[in-house]
């Protein structure tokens, strides 16, 4: 019978697999299809079952046309082998997570219409002339890095639980495994803490929000109250959803800086005790958590409620951008410096982080923090998230601390991605697709031995200028595609021209998924920047510094 082949001869998978060999023949997609797996492959099997059953065009039986096999010889626990044969698809992996990634690959070998169940071109009998097929091939695959993350700031702007789940879907689809949920900041506290109701009543809402760019003077505000928070039930729902996609959720509770929302609800947590508002514009604020015992009591109570919600090994404690102005003139902080024999406020920052680390370690958790946690010495077991370039990463790795790479230069998806004058307003900077693609998470200063401390990398999305879910997607796609390949694919398999072709093909899938994305961004960095635009970007680059 005649068959339509829905896949290109060269598979278009993103991130590109370690090795793929095309074989002769096709696997016919015809009804019914047998799918068999046992509990070892519960998550991956269930995912595939649900995926194939969207739109009810495929009837599944428990034959083994598609089969899951445990293969202990696969070295990387996240690795897999996918073998498409004329009458069989075999998924081999050592773990459910490895098999899950085989399923994500298989998904990309199916027509995009499967994404929303609109694919109807499947035969109900072998005799019809309409069959969809998958090219026979063997794919052997494993990730380059163990930490493959995406971050989302829900404090500056908040997004619905449904949207957070879609964000997690996208992470999983691209074989990334970590969602860094930035839950608290100066402009809003977004996680329910039952012991402190004013976090919900006061810290979760700001009276109004800056309109336009921060650099537009004079500042104007929209006059609209904005905010909200995720209940603990919602958080549990998100975390369970993420688990069903092999995604770990790392919550971030910011300290000692970016704490103005919490301080607005409980002024005693600051140094001055003065009443402040939840921040209405962007930037760095002087109202940071005081180092007195009351603040630690509060933070420990907060963490006591946060810990049981997140099975993640890590809790992100922030640590960035904590101006020491108030600590310098605060009697209690100055006393703390004396009694603890600290040199200055930088060492006080180290005291703060180390004390929280000790607490979290005692509860079986590890801390991760922005690279400012290197200030005044690194807490003993901390993992560093290196965002201000790579210096912090080098320093931490040399001290044998684990590192996640998120330098602004390659990982800040809130930066402009194109020189198109129609681009929506962004915070500044310039991070085109090609630059993300070219990122090497291992800093050149590190030896092979030291490089082992680089766990991986993450794309960050800060949302000062990103009020809607559509806009989040626009900033994330296609740069997340590049990031997924940075953390998954071997350098020798990477090729930008080939990647761009795959992105264009992938966009069809995004269309069916109804995911927004930026298009026509494939310019080489700098090439299309007009003189006028150059100044424009320079302006933002300076502001950003």
Would you say 65 or 464 has its CB closer to ligand NAG? 464
Within 10 angstroms of residue 150's Cβ, the number of other Cβ atoms is 25
Sign of CA dihedral 242, 247, 248, 254: negative
Residue written as tokens 């990387």? 76
Residues identified as active-site? 185, 258, 321
Residues making contact with ligand NAG (CB under 6 A) = 320-321, 370, 387, 412, 414, 427, 462, 464
Q: Under 8 Å CB-to-CB from 107, ≥6 apart: which residues?
A: 51, 114, 173
Strand residue runs (E) in 420-518: 454-459
- Measured CA to CA, the distance from residue 321 to residue 285 in angstroms comes to 8
Q: For residues 453 and 462, which CB has a smaller minimum distance to ligand NAG in the complex?
A: 462
- Sign of the torsion formed by the C-alpha atoms of 232, 238, 244 and 246: negative
Which residue's CB is nearer to ligand NAG, number 144 or number 379? 379
CB 191 → ligand NAG: shortest distance, Å?
A: 17
Instruction: State how far the alpha carbon of 369 is from the alpha carbons of 145, 312, 333, 531, in Å.
Output: 19, 15, 22, 39
Tokens 């500056």 -> residue:
156
Nearer to ligand NAG, 35 or 427 (CB): 427
221: enclosing H helix or E strand: strand 220-221
3-state secondary structure of 435: helix
Q: Give the residue nearest to ligand NAG (CB).
A: 462
Integer Cα distance of 84 and 101 in angstroms: 15
Q: Are 247 and 148 in contact (CB under 8 A)?
A: no
Minimum CB separation from ligand NAG for residue 159, in Å? 15
User: Which residue number, 314 or 412, has a Cβ lying nearer to ligand NAG?
Assistant: 412
Distance of closest approach, residue 518 Cβ to ligand NAG, in angstroms: 18
Q: In whole angstroms, what is the distance from residue 451 CA to residue 400 CA?
A: 10
* Residue with Cβ nearer ligand NAG (306 or 427): 427
The span from the CA of 137 to the CA of 86, in Å, is 10
Instruction: List CB contacts of 408: < 8 A, sequence separation 6 or more.
Output: 387, 388, 389, 415, 429, 544
CB of 370 to ligand NAG, least distance (A): 4
92 or 463: whose CB is closer to ligand NAG? 463
Q: Decide: helix, strand or coil at residue 240.
A: helix
Q: Which is nearer to ligand NAG, 41 or 387 (CB)?
A: 387
Least separation in angstroms between CB 179 and ligand NAG = 17
Nearest alpha carbon to residue 189 among 254, 271, 256, 270: 254
| Structure tokens given for 12 | 């278009």
Beta carbons of 248 and 365 less than 8 angstroms apart: no
List Cβ neighbours of 163 (8 Å cut-off, separation of 6 or more): 469, 472
How far apart are CB 112 and ligand NAG at their closest, in Å?
33
| Residue number with CB closer to ligand NAG (113 or 372) | 372
The terminus-to-terminus CA distance of the chain in angstroms comes to 64
Write the DSSP string, 44-111: HHHHHHHHHHGGG---EEEEEEEEEEE-TT-SSTT-EEEEEETTEEEEEESSHHHHHHHHHHHHHHS-
- Minimum distance of ligand NAG from residue 496's CB (angstroms): 25
The Cβ-side half-sphere exposure at 229, using a 13 Å CA radius, reads 26
Shortest Å, Cβ 366 to ligand NAG: 19
- 450 φ, ψ (degrees, to nearest 5): -65, -30
CB of 384 to ligand NAG, least distance (A): 12
Give 50 or 219: the residue with its C-beta nearer to ligand NAG: 219
Taking the complex as a whole, how short is the minimal distance between the CB of residue 186 and ligand NAG, in angstroms? 8
133 close to 78: Cβ distance less than 8 angstroms: no
């Amino acid at each position: 019978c005649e068959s339509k082949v829905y896949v290109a001869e060269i598979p278009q998978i993103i991130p590109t697999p370690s090795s793929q060999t095309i074989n002769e023949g096709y696997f016919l997609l015809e009804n019914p299809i047998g799918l068999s797996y046992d509990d070892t492959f519960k998550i991956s099997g269930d995912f595939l079952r649900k995926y194939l059953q969207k739109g009810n065009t495929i009837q599944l039986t428990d034959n083994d046309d598609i089969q899951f096999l445990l293969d202990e010889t696969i070295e990387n626990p996240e690795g897999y082998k996918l073998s498409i044969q004329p009458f069989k698809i075999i998924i081999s992996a050592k773990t459910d997570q490895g098999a899950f990634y085989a399923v994500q690959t298989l998904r990309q070998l199916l027509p995009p219409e499967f994404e929303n169940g609109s694919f109807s071109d499947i035969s109900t009998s072998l005799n019809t002339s309409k069959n969809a097929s998958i090219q026979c091939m063997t794919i052997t695959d494993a990730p380059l890095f163990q930490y493959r993350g995406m971050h989302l700031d829900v404090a500056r702007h908040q997004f619905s639980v449904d949207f957070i789940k879609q964000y997690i879907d996208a992470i999983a689809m691209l074989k990334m495994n970590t969602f860094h949920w930035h839950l608290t900041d100066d402009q809003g506290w977004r996680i329910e803490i039952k012991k402190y109701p004013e976090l919900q009543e006061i810290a979760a809402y700001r009276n109004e929000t800056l309109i336009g760019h921060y650099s537009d003077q004079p500042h104007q505000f929209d006059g609209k109250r904005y905010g909200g928070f995720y209940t603990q039930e919602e958080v549990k729902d998100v975390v369970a959803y993420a688990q069903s996609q092999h995604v770990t959720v790392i919550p971030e509770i910011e300290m000692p800086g970016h704490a103005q929302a919490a301080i607005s609800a409980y002024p005693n947590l600051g140094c001055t005790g003065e009443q402040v508002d939840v921040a209405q514009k962007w930037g760095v604020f002087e109202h940071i958590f005081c180092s007195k015992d009351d603040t630690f009591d509060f933070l420990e109570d907060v963490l006591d409620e946060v810990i049981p919600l997140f099975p993640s090994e890590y809790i992100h404690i922030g640590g960035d951008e904590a101006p020491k102005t108030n600590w310098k003139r605060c009697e209690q902080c100055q006393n703390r410096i004396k009694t603890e024999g600290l040199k200055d406020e930088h060492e006080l920052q180290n005291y703060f982080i180390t004390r929280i680390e000790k607490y979290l370690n005692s509860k079986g958790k590890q801390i991760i923090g922005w690279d400012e946690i290197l200030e005044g010495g690194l807490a003993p077991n901390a993992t560093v998230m290196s965002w201000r370039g790579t210096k912090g990463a080098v320093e931490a790795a040399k001290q044998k601390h684990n590192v996640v790479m998120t330098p602004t230069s390659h990982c800040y998806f809130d930066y402009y991605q194109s020189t198109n004058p129609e681009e929506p307003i962004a915070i500044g900077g310039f991070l085109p697709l090609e630059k993300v693609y070219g990122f090497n998470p291992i800093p050149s200063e590190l030896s092979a031995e030291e490089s082992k401390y680089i766990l991986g990398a993450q794309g960050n999305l800060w949302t000062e200028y990103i009020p809607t879910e559509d806009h989040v997607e626009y900033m994330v796609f296609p740069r997340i595609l590049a990031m997924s390949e940075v953390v998954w694919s071997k350098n020798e398999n990477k090729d930008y021209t080939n990647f761009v072709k795959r992105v264009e093909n992938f966009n069809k899938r995004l269309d069916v998924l109804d995911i927004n994305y930026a298009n026509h961004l494939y310019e080489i960095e700098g090439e299309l920047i007009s003189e006028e635009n150059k100044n424009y970007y320079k302006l933002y680059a300076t502001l950003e510094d």
